[in-house]
Structure 1
Amino acid sequence: MRFGGVGALATSVHVGVYVMALTVLSPQAANAMGFLAGVAISYVGHTWFSFAEASKQAGRSHALTARFLTVIAIGYGLNAGWVAFVTQGIGWSPAWAALFIAVITPVITFVLLKAWVYVPR
Protein backbone atom coordinates (compact mmCIF):
# COMPACT_ATOMS: atom_id res chain seq x y z
CA MET A 1 0.00 0.00 0.00
CA ARG A 2 2.76 2.43 0.93
CA PHE A 3 4.76 1.65 -2.19
CA GLY A 4 1.65 2.05 -4.28
CA GLY A 5 0.90 5.47 -2.83
CA VAL A 6 4.42 6.82 -3.20
CA GLY A 7 4.82 5.16 -6.58
CA ALA A 8 1.51 6.54 -7.82
CA LEU A 9 2.50 10.05 -6.75
CA ALA A 10 5.98 9.84 -8.31
CA THR A 11 4.59 8.25 -11.48
CA SER A 12 1.81 10.84 -11.73
CA VAL A 13 4.32 13.66 -11.45
CA HIS A 14 6.58 11.99 -14.04
CA VAL A 15 3.77 11.38 -16.51
CA GLY A 16 2.20 14.79 -15.93
CA VAL A 17 5.45 16.64 -16.54
CA TYR A 18 6.23 14.37 -19.52
CA VAL A 19 2.91 14.99 -21.24
CA MET A 20 2.99 18.75 -20.59
CA ALA A 21 6.62 19.03 -21.70
CA LEU A 22 5.83 17.27 -24.99
CA THR A 23 4.34 20.54 -26.21
CA VAL A 24 7.76 22.23 -26.14
CA LEU A 25 10.40 19.49 -25.93
CA SER A 26 11.38 16.38 -27.83
CA PRO A 27 9.91 13.16 -26.40
CA GLN A 28 13.24 12.08 -24.86
CA ALA A 29 13.84 15.50 -23.27
CA ALA A 30 10.28 15.52 -21.94
CA ASN A 31 10.85 12.05 -20.49
CA ALA A 32 14.07 13.17 -18.79
CA MET A 33 12.36 16.20 -17.31
CA GLY A 34 9.42 14.13 -16.05
CA PHE A 35 11.70 11.45 -14.70
CA LEU A 36 13.77 13.93 -12.70
CA ALA A 37 10.61 15.45 -11.26
CA GLY A 38 9.45 12.04 -10.04
CA VAL A 39 12.79 10.78 -8.70
CA ALA A 40 12.96 13.05 -5.67
CA ILE A 41 9.48 11.98 -4.60
CA SER A 42 10.41 8.36 -5.17
CA TYR A 43 13.65 8.45 -3.15
CA VAL A 44 12.28 10.30 -0.14
CA GLY A 45 8.98 8.45 -0.16
CA HIS A 46 10.38 4.96 -0.55
CA THR A 47 13.32 5.40 1.81
CA TRP A 48 11.40 7.13 4.60
CA PHE A 49 7.88 5.77 4.10
CA SER A 50 7.34 2.76 1.81
CA PHE A 51 10.37 0.80 2.98
CA ALA A 52 11.07 2.75 6.20
CA GLU A 53 11.70 -0.27 8.42
CA ALA A 54 13.61 -2.20 5.78
CA SER A 55 15.56 0.96 5.01
CA LYS A 56 16.64 1.25 8.65
CA GLN A 57 17.66 -2.41 8.67
CA ALA A 58 19.43 -2.09 5.32
CA GLY A 59 21.26 0.90 6.71
CA ARG A 60 20.63 4.34 5.30
CA SER A 61 24.06 4.62 3.85
CA HIS A 62 26.00 5.40 0.73
CA ALA A 63 25.55 1.76 -0.32
CA LEU A 64 21.77 2.04 -0.03
CA THR A 65 21.84 5.26 -2.03
CA ALA A 66 24.06 3.65 -4.68
CA ARG A 67 21.67 0.68 -5.00
CA PHE A 68 18.70 3.03 -5.23
CA LEU A 69 20.42 5.13 -7.91
CA THR A 70 21.21 1.96 -9.88
CA VAL A 71 17.52 1.02 -9.88
CA ILE A 72 16.64 4.59 -10.84
CA ALA A 73 19.08 4.38 -13.78
CA ILE A 74 17.45 1.11 -14.87
CA GLY A 75 14.03 2.76 -14.62
CA TYR A 76 15.20 5.72 -16.66
CA GLY A 77 16.64 3.38 -19.29
CA LEU A 78 13.37 1.49 -19.48
CA ASN A 79 11.38 4.70 -19.84
CA ALA A 80 13.72 6.05 -22.53
CA GLY A 81 13.30 2.70 -24.27
CA TRP A 82 9.50 2.96 -24.10
CA VAL A 83 9.64 6.45 -25.60
CA ALA A 84 11.89 5.23 -28.43
CA PHE A 85 9.77 2.12 -29.00
CA VAL A 86 6.52 4.08 -29.16
CA THR A 87 7.79 6.97 -31.27
CA GLN A 88 10.36 5.32 -33.53
CA GLY A 89 9.55 1.63 -33.31
CA ILE A 90 5.82 1.66 -33.92
CA GLY A 91 5.31 5.28 -34.92
CA TRP A 92 2.67 6.20 -32.37
CA SER A 93 2.24 9.56 -30.69
CA PRO A 94 4.79 10.05 -27.90
CA ALA A 95 1.96 10.46 -25.40
CA TRP A 96 1.34 6.71 -25.66
CA ALA A 97 4.69 6.06 -23.97
CA ALA A 98 3.09 7.35 -20.77
CA LEU A 99 1.11 4.10 -20.59
CA PHE A 100 4.30 2.01 -20.48
CA ILE A 101 5.97 4.50 -18.14
CA ALA A 102 3.04 4.35 -15.74
CA VAL A 103 2.38 0.59 -15.80
CA ILE A 104 5.40 -1.54 -16.67
CA THR A 105 8.37 0.37 -15.27
CA PRO A 106 6.87 0.73 -11.75
CA VAL A 107 6.37 -3.03 -11.48
CA ILE A 108 9.98 -3.71 -12.44
CA THR A 109 11.36 -1.04 -10.10
CA PHE A 110 9.20 -2.32 -7.23
CA VAL A 111 10.68 -5.80 -7.58
CA LEU A 112 14.22 -4.40 -7.68
CA LEU A 113 13.65 -2.08 -4.72
CA LYS A 114 12.10 -4.80 -2.58
CA ALA A 115 14.50 -7.59 -3.56
CA TRP A 116 17.78 -5.66 -3.71
CA VAL A 117 17.77 -2.07 -2.46
CA TYR A 118 15.83 -2.33 0.80
CA VAL A 119 16.85 -5.84 1.85
CA PRO A 120 18.02 -5.94 5.48
CA ARG A 121 21.75 -6.42 5.55
Structure 2
Amino acid sequence: MRHLLGEILRFGGVGALATGVHVGTYLVMLSLVSPQAANAVGFLASVGVSYVGHTWFSFAGSAKQAGAGRALALRFSVVVAGGYAINAFWVALVTDGLGWASGWAGVFIACVTPAITFLLLKFWVYAPR
Protein backbone atom coordinates (compact mmCIF):
# COMPACT_ATOMS: atom_id res chain seq x y z
CA MET A 1 0.00 0.00 0.00
CA ARG A 2 2.84 2.35 0.85
CA HIS A 3 4.48 1.63 -2.52
CA LEU A 4 1.23 2.46 -4.34
CA LEU A 5 0.85 5.70 -2.39
CA GLY A 6 4.41 6.66 -3.31
CA GLU A 7 3.69 5.99 -6.99
CA ILE A 8 0.51 8.04 -6.83
CA LEU A 9 2.32 10.95 -5.19
CA ARG A 10 5.24 10.82 -7.66
CA PHE A 11 2.81 10.45 -10.57
CA GLY A 12 0.91 13.46 -9.25
CA GLY A 13 4.05 15.58 -9.13
CA VAL A 14 5.23 14.64 -12.61
CA GLY A 15 1.66 14.81 -13.88
CA ALA A 16 1.16 18.25 -12.39
CA LEU A 17 4.28 19.47 -14.14
CA ALA A 18 3.30 17.87 -17.48
CA THR A 19 -0.30 19.06 -17.13
CA GLY A 20 0.89 22.56 -16.32
CA VAL A 21 2.97 22.55 -19.49
CA HIS A 22 -0.01 21.19 -21.47
CA VAL A 23 -2.70 23.50 -20.12
CA GLY A 24 -0.42 26.55 -20.03
CA THR A 25 0.58 26.02 -23.64
CA TYR A 26 -3.06 25.34 -24.57
CA LEU A 27 -4.24 28.60 -23.02
CA VAL A 28 -1.47 30.65 -24.63
CA MET A 29 -2.06 29.05 -28.04
CA LEU A 30 -5.82 29.76 -27.92
CA SER A 31 -5.11 33.34 -28.98
CA LEU A 32 -3.24 32.09 -32.06
CA VAL A 33 -4.96 28.93 -33.30
CA SER A 34 -8.18 26.89 -32.99
CA PRO A 35 -8.93 25.09 -29.71
CA GLN A 36 -8.09 21.67 -31.23
CA ALA A 37 -4.78 22.94 -32.60
CA ALA A 38 -4.01 24.56 -29.23
CA ASN A 39 -4.72 21.22 -27.54
CA ALA A 40 -2.38 19.41 -29.95
CA VAL A 41 0.47 21.85 -29.35
CA GLY A 42 -0.05 21.75 -25.58
CA PHE A 43 -0.21 17.99 -25.52
CA LEU A 44 2.95 17.57 -27.60
CA ALA A 45 4.77 20.05 -25.36
CA SER A 46 3.97 17.88 -22.33
CA VAL A 47 4.87 14.43 -23.73
CA GLY A 48 8.62 14.63 -23.13
CA VAL A 49 8.13 15.84 -19.57
CA SER A 50 5.70 12.99 -18.97
CA TYR A 51 7.84 10.19 -20.45
CA VAL A 52 11.05 11.14 -18.71
CA GLY A 53 9.35 11.93 -15.40
CA HIS A 54 7.24 8.79 -15.26
CA THR A 55 9.95 6.43 -16.49
CA TRP A 56 12.76 7.79 -14.30
CA PHE A 57 10.77 8.94 -11.28
CA SER A 58 7.08 7.97 -10.92
CA PHE A 59 7.49 4.32 -11.88
CA ALA A 60 11.28 4.00 -11.68
CA GLY A 61 11.22 0.67 -9.83
CA SER A 62 8.61 -0.85 -12.11
CA ALA A 63 10.11 0.59 -15.29
CA LYS A 64 13.20 -1.56 -14.83
CA GLN A 65 11.02 -4.67 -14.79
CA ALA A 66 8.58 -3.55 -17.51
CA GLY A 67 10.54 -4.83 -20.48
CA ALA A 68 12.86 -3.53 -23.16
CA GLY A 69 13.12 0.18 -23.81
CA ARG A 70 11.52 -0.03 -27.26
CA ALA A 71 8.54 -2.06 -26.03
CA LEU A 72 8.12 0.29 -23.09
CA ALA A 73 8.25 3.32 -25.37
CA LEU A 74 5.68 1.75 -27.68
CA ARG A 75 3.25 1.07 -24.83
CA PHE A 76 3.82 4.59 -23.53
CA SER A 77 3.13 5.97 -27.02
CA VAL A 78 -0.18 4.09 -27.18
CA VAL A 79 -1.21 5.62 -23.84
CA VAL A 80 -0.10 9.06 -25.04
CA ALA A 81 -2.16 8.68 -28.22
CA GLY A 82 -5.15 7.58 -26.15
CA GLY A 83 -4.65 10.52 -23.81
CA TYR A 84 -4.55 12.88 -26.75
CA ALA A 85 -7.79 11.40 -28.11
CA ILE A 86 -9.43 11.80 -24.70
CA ASN A 87 -8.25 15.41 -24.48
CA ALA A 88 -9.50 16.12 -28.02
CA PHE A 89 -12.85 14.74 -26.89
CA TRP A 90 -12.89 17.14 -23.92
CA VAL A 91 -12.18 20.09 -26.21
CA ALA A 92 -14.94 19.04 -28.64
CA LEU A 93 -17.40 18.37 -25.81
CA VAL A 94 -16.78 21.71 -24.13
CA THR A 95 -16.65 23.89 -27.25
CA ASP A 96 -19.02 22.18 -29.69
CA GLY A 97 -21.19 20.01 -27.45
CA LEU A 98 -21.80 22.30 -24.50
CA GLY A 99 -21.01 25.66 -26.09
CA TRP A 100 -18.83 26.69 -23.16
CA ALA A 101 -15.73 28.85 -23.42
CA SER A 102 -12.83 26.77 -24.73
CA GLY A 103 -10.74 27.38 -21.62
CA TRP A 104 -13.05 25.09 -19.65
CA ALA A 105 -11.63 22.08 -21.50
CA GLY A 106 -8.49 22.60 -19.42
CA VAL A 107 -10.40 21.48 -16.32
CA PHE A 108 -11.14 18.09 -17.86
CA ILE A 109 -7.64 17.85 -19.33
CA ALA A 110 -6.15 18.55 -15.90
CA CYS A 111 -8.44 16.37 -13.76
CA VAL A 112 -9.98 13.43 -15.62
CA THR A 113 -7.35 12.45 -18.16
CA PRO A 114 -4.58 12.08 -15.55
CA ALA A 115 -6.64 9.57 -13.55
CA ILE A 116 -7.18 7.42 -16.64
CA THR A 117 -3.52 7.78 -17.59
CA PHE A 118 -2.30 6.67 -14.16
CA LEU A 119 -4.26 3.43 -14.38
CA LEU A 120 -2.97 2.66 -17.87
CA LEU A 121 0.63 3.44 -16.94
CA LYS A 122 0.52 1.52 -13.66
CA PHE A 123 -1.20 -1.62 -14.89
CA TRP A 124 -0.04 -1.84 -18.50
CA VAL A 125 2.94 0.32 -19.49
CA TYR A 126 5.06 -0.13 -16.37
CA ALA A 127 3.67 -3.50 -15.27
CA PRO A 128 6.46 -6.02 -14.66
CA ARG A 129 6.92 -8.40 -17.60
With normalisation by structure 2, the TM-score equals 0.92
Deviation per CA, 1:19-78: give whole Å up to 9, x if none: 110011100000000001111000000011100110001134211111000000000000
**Counterpart selection for 1:54 from 54, 59, 62:** 62
**Counterpart selection for 1:34 from 34, 38, 42:** 42
How many percent identity over aligned positions? Answer: 65
Q: Structure 1's 46 and 38: CA in aligned 2 closer, same or farther, altered over 3 A?
A: same
Distance in 2 between the 1:58 and 1:117 partners? 7
Q: Does 1:15 align with 2:19?
A: no
Stretches of structure 1 that go unaligned for 5 or more consecutive residues are none
Distance in 2 between the 1:80 and 1:60 partners? 30
Q: Which residue of 1 aligns with 2:125?
A: 117
Q: Structure 1's 105 and 77: CA in aligned 2 closer, same or farther, altered over 3 A?
A: same
Stretches of structure 2 that go unaligned for 5 or more consecutive residues are 1-8
In the TM superposition, 1:86-105 aligns within 5 A as 86-105=94-113
The one-letter amino acid paired with 1:100 is F
Distance in 2 between the 1:49 and 1:99 partners? 25
Q: Which residue of 1 aligns with 2:32?
A: 24
Q: How many corresponding residue pairs? A: 121
Distance in 2 between the 1:64 and 1:40 partners? 14
Detail structure 1 runs of 4+ shifted over 4 Å in the superposition. Answer: none
Q: Which residue of 2 aligns with 1:85?
A: 93
The one-letter amino acid paired with 1:41 is V
